[in-house]
Structure 1
Amino acid sequence: MLLRLPYTLLWLFALPLVLLRLVWRARRQPAYLKHVGERFARYRKRAPCEVIWVHAVSVGETRAAEPLIRALLERHPGHSVLLTHMTPTGRATSKTLFGNDPRVLRAYLPYDLGLLCGRFLRHFRPALGIVMETELWPNLLAACARRGVPVLLANARLSARSARRYARWPALTRATLGALSALGAQTDADAERLRALGAPNVETTGNAKFDVEPTPALLELGGRFRARAGGRSLVLAASTREGEEAPLLDAFLRLAPDDAVLLLVPRHPQRFDEVAALAAARGVRLQRRSGNDDLAADTRVWLGDSMGEMFAYYAAAEVALIGGSWLPFGGQNLIEACAVGTPVVLGPHTFNFALAAAQAEEAGAALRCDDAEAGMRAALELLGDGARRRAMGEAGRIYAATHRGATARTLELAERLLNARPAGR
């Protein structure tokens, strides 16, 4: 408790700023002001049966959790799954994936204060908690440990940069990791960094994002996207972050032939209008995916202003530049592009997906470039080299297929924890 006291006091002092930030974000994304009570552990719905709780902070974690959640629902028909999030886009993604399935509940995780964490656990009484990737909340995990709720940190990744940040508070980090019942790391390097910080019971399970496969409906939608392009080549800039779109757009307009269209899909939906304004400022024709129109002959930019359709965008494109890698954001998920056979072009900053990026390069599925202009040049060169493009696409499919299996290994860890519970819990 004493270890967490400074952290808790910091939370209390910061809470007004956190709420102001919520209001600030709601200017662009009004959904941030919905279900605010849940962030203070005020919930209306109760689970119809015993709960397995899965925390997936936002979109990427929610999609990575999908195969595991489906496996849990199949293996444990007497349980429901509570999916908690921190962002409206994560919550919307879970709604897209699971619809109105009565066994899948969704809510916001409360802020990490002991009173709120206790109220959350008393309300839902989870039999098991599964936290995706590296969402480490000291008070929440301590509350779980006190109440005998086993927690699995699944699909865990920890970059060298993040490890150094956690190492600044060694005692708190060690206590927080020690409250976990088991950890499934994406890579051996992630596992070693977690052990070095004091984590017990760490196993390497692999990256669950390899197990996420496109549905036939999304592949069909990708085909319709390509048909709407009217034979023009689609160069996809996928999951781009703030500051990346402008140099990618400028390089495309300077280098691309007239029969190519830049399919631009920002990572965050609240930035759709901002990115559209970049094209308007350059005097080029932009159309939105939400318009459902075929591309006009003079359209140079197609804005992917939709959620849950990234597989379709990858399936429609001839080549994909992966966002988050052109500025030091750490890169976004490249596995989905590989899975549908779309050649990948990466920037220099991929520390969030270091092993996956290196393996994709080694497999011949991805190219790495130093900056946005070099990346766009490489992508456009691939447009003109069909044989190389097809070879990279096939290499990507093989690479993605050979690294599947993390979900099964994570499920085994989860089952072990469920079966180890004391009788009567």
Structure 2
Amino acid sequence: MTSIPLAHRGYRLLLRGLTLPMLAWLWWRGRKDAGYRQHLGQRLGFTEPAPASVGGLLIHAASVGEVQAARPLIDALRSEWPVHTLTVSTHSPTGARQLRSHWGDAIQHVFFPFDTPGATARFLDRLQPQLVVLVERELWPELLLQCRQRSIPVALVNARLSEASAASYRRWQALMQPVWAQLALVATADTPTTERLRALGVPDERLLETGNLKFDQPVAPAGSQELRWLRGRPVIVAGSTHEGEEDALLAAWPAFAERHPGCVLILVPRHPERFDAVARLIDQTGLPCARRSRQEVPAPETGVFLADTMGELGLWYAHASVCFIGGSLAAIGGHNALEALACGKPVLFGPHTQHFQSLYQEIEAHGLGERVASARELLETAGRWLDEPARLADKGEQARHFVERQQGSSQRSLQALRPLWQPTQPGLLTQVLQQSLTNQTLWHDPAMLTQCSPRLFDPEEDATALATGSGRGQAHRLQLEGQEVVLRHYRRGGMMARFSPDRYWRSRAPDSRAMGEYALLRRMRAWGLPVPAPVAARQLLSGLWYTADILVAMIPGTQNVAQRLSQAPLGDDEWRALGLAIRRLHDRQVIHSDLNCHNLLLDESRQAWIVDFDKCEVRTGETWKEQNLARLLRSLRKERIRRSPFYWDETHWPLLLAGYEVEAIPSA
């Protein structure tokens, strides 16, 4: 277990103390946006992920901006990871809505938990990600610590770090120092960020400047049929605006509109909870206004349009003549101008751009935009641009080319991330369908079983009984849809078997014996380990108890080692094959809780297999591996006493260890 530094203990104490106030704050924010009151249990780690997403990829993008930034990378990841294996977490409901606007329900969304030990542990234990990808600067100390304890690699992509943020991290060095050495990859958006992260302690070999993902953003189509009312009218789009910016623009608008009749000001507030407040602000000015949420089309004399919907900022930029990037007149720090530039539009921005300092410096250096001090100056500059349409068009082309020259970050990031999951084969993380019936839950792989029903778990009369493991389990060999499968009913061992031979305390279905083994087998198959394929699993409830069953694919032509040794000695190469199979399991940190000669199989080609993963898990550390091998040795010694003949003696054990000591060869 990783020792907990004193600074981190203090952080834990603080976050625990803030849990109730943070829940109250979410409830209070829910007055304006009901999304903050939804799924509050997920904030405490009580997520219920879809079975197919367990063991997949977790991408954390805090809110709208990060989701938008991650969009090109997620699309790139989908070329290798099945969509059902991807989970995106956000803090804000607006980020969740942005996610749904891009992919609907295809990609699973969950709310990111509070960074407390309990919430984070539940979150990771239920999702069991193979890789965690953080977007921009979402570095949460407890999440990072628990990923270290679980040997889950963590990558930071599209990393952006201002000097102010770097100074803040330096002040909290005792808390953050373990994080920098832990990160398996840091893909940065720009050179200043790279230098700041290097100074903080990120190792050089893990730092890679891949560029800004937002350069790869898809551009909204400019010729949308529904926006014909904009054709022929000059359009000024104020995107991602904050309090204080809309009223300043509205105050300066009448004078501008007199000089530029027919021009439209499109206001796009950054936060949806401010939509109605901005609408009231416009009403107070007396300016004619139309609202997108009401599907209103502005009349020719209407000069103000409120774009009060989510996920359409790119659409407005695509139809703009001139774009203003909000959060820069107000002392917010500015928002990303790349989406407007990608649409071929020059940009105007205020004095506060520290969040994207290097980008705005490049914009000014290349003549792609201008910095203004006030709303009045903003509109005066926009007016000059509109009076010179040829120059404005030239600026737009330069903006588009600027973005195109720097595209490709998503593919560079994907290439950098790939070694973190290899040799895992994501395509082998097959779909899992779940049925929740009155008193039972069923999982099955639709690629192996077209239909799954409770009757499949009741042995047929002509089923062949098998002995597996230590003999406790009830196993049958069946034919299902033209394939041989093994049905195993979970039974207890030891003293407990006398009181409750096959019943276990009631639990969540994913935590049951059957579903736990099913999920682990599915992950191990993707890792290329020599284990059977899971076919279906069942948890059957009865009062405070449950019973469990699992169906796995039959491995043809196999016998367990105990059976083989009752017939003839094993060859040297077979012992080495068994050692190598165990080593491959251990290299993936999988402990077989009952490793014995009944759970090791050999097929006709002398390849070794491992079966029966009840109560097994992925475990960190190294000391248990020697103990695991010792358990196998004890089982061989026990069988030599129980069976006659049994062709094993102590001289065979070094042969198995010789196979174990060979470095496992990646199977992918």
TM over 0.5: yes
How far apart in 2 are the matches of 1:57 and 1:293? 32
Q: How far apart are residue 220 of structure 1 and its match? A: 3.7
Q: Which amino acid aligns with 1:186?
A: A
Name which of structure 1's ranges 139-148 and 323-332 shifts more when overlaid on structure 2.
323-332
Matched, 1:35 2:36: no
Q: How far apart are residue 56 of structure 1 and its match? A: 0.6
SS of residue in 2 equivalent to 1:167 = helix
* Pairs within 5 Å for 1:136-215: 136-200=139-203, 201-215=206-220
Q: How far apart are residue 219 of structure 1 and its match? A: 3.3
SS of residue in 1 equivalent to 2:373 = coil
How far apart in 2 are the matches of 1:55 and 1:384? 45
How far apart in 2 are the matches of 1:327 and 1:79? 41
* Pairs within 5 Å for 1:83-102: 83-101=88-106
Matched-pair identity in %: 37
1:144-175 Cα distance to aligned partner (Å, 9 max, x none) = 01100000010000111111222211111212
How far apart in 2 are the matches of 1:137 and 1:242? 29
* Pairs within 5 Å for 1:14-93: 14-49=18-53, 50-77=55-82, 80-93=85-98
How far apart in 2 are the matches of 1:107 and 1:234? 38
Verify the 8 A CA contact 1:319 1:342 in the aligned structure 2: yes
Q: Which amino acid aligns with 1:23?
A: W
Verify the 8 A CA contact 1:52 1:79 in the aligned structure 2: no
Verify the 8 A CA contact 2:49 2:127 in the aligned structure 1: no
Verify the 8 A CA contact 1:155 1:208 in the aligned structure 2: yes
Q: How far apart are residue 88 of structure 1 and its match? A: 0.4
**Partner in structure 1 of residue 570 of structure 2:** none
Matched, 1:219 2:214: no
Matched, 1:264 2:267: yes
How far apart in 2 are the matches of 1:172 and 1:349? 30
CA RMSD, Structure 1 to Structure 2 (Å): 1.7
* Pairs within 5 Å for 1:1-400: 1=4, 2-49=6-53, 50-77=55-82, 80-101=85-106, 104-200=107-203, 201-215=206-220, 218-221=221-224, 224-225=226-227, 227-229=228-230, 231-256=232-257, 257-400=260-403
How far apart in 2 are the matches of 1:105 and 1:47? 11
Q: Which amino acid aligns with 1:175?
A: P
Q: Which amino acid aligns with 2:250?
A: L
Verify the 8 A CA contact 1:56 1:131 in the aligned structure 2: yes
How far apart in 2 are the matches of 1:78 and 1:377? 48
How far apart in 1 are the matches of 2:240 and 2:83? 38
Structure ranking higher on relative contact order (CA contacts 8 Å, 6+ apart): 1
Name which of structure 1's ranges 63-72 and 355-364 shifts more when overlaid on structure 2.
355-364
What residue ranges of structure 2 are gaps of 5+ in the alignment?
Answer: 425-586, 591-617, 619-668
Q: How far apart are residue 420 of structure 1 and its match? A: 6.9
Q: How far apart are residue 114 of structure 1 and its match? A: 1.1
Number of residue pairs aligned between Structure 1 and Structure 2 = 419
Name which of structure 1's ranges 263-272 and 296-305 shifts more when overlaid on structure 2.
296-305
How far apart in 2 are the matches of 1:80 and 1:189? 34
Verify the 8 A CA contact 1:73 1:79 in the aligned structure 2: no
Q: How far apart are residue 18 of structure 1 and its match? A: 1.1
Q: Which amino acid aligns with 1:324?
A: G
Q: Please, what TM-score do these two structures have when normalized by structure 1? A: 0.94
Q: Please, what TM-score do these two structures have when normalized by structure 2? A: 0.61
Q: Which amino acid aligns with 2:144?
A: L
SS of residue in 1 equivalent to 2:78 = helix
How far apart in 1 are the matches of 2:191 and 2:18? 36
When you count helix as a share of all residues, which structure comes out higher? 1
Q: Which amino acid aligns with 1:10?
A: L
SS of residue in 2 equivalent to 1:273 = helix
Q: Which amino acid aligns with 1:345?
A: L
Q: Which amino acid aligns with 2:248?
A: P
Q: How far apart are residue 78 of structure 1 and its match? A: 8.6
Q: Which amino acid aligns with 1:37?
A: G
Q: Which amino acid aligns with 1:156?
A: A
SS of residue in 2 equivalent to 1:135 = coil
From the CA coordinates, give the structure whose radius of gyration is larger.
Answer: 2
How far apart in 2 are the matches of 1:408 and 1:372? 39
Pair 330,316 (structure 1): closer, same or farther in 2 beyond 3 Å: same
**Partner in structure 2 of residue 413 of structure 1:** 416
Q: Which amino acid aligns with 2:242?
A: R
1:81-108 Cα distance to aligned partner (Å, 9 max, x none) = 110000001011111111132xx21100
What residue ranges of structure 1 are gaps of 5+ in the alignment?
Answer: none
Verify the 8 A CA contact 1:183 1:203 in the aligned structure 2: yes
Q: How far apart are residue 245 of structure 1 and its match? A: 1.2
1:261-300 Cα distance to aligned partner (Å, 9 max, x none) = 2100000010011111111111111110122232123322
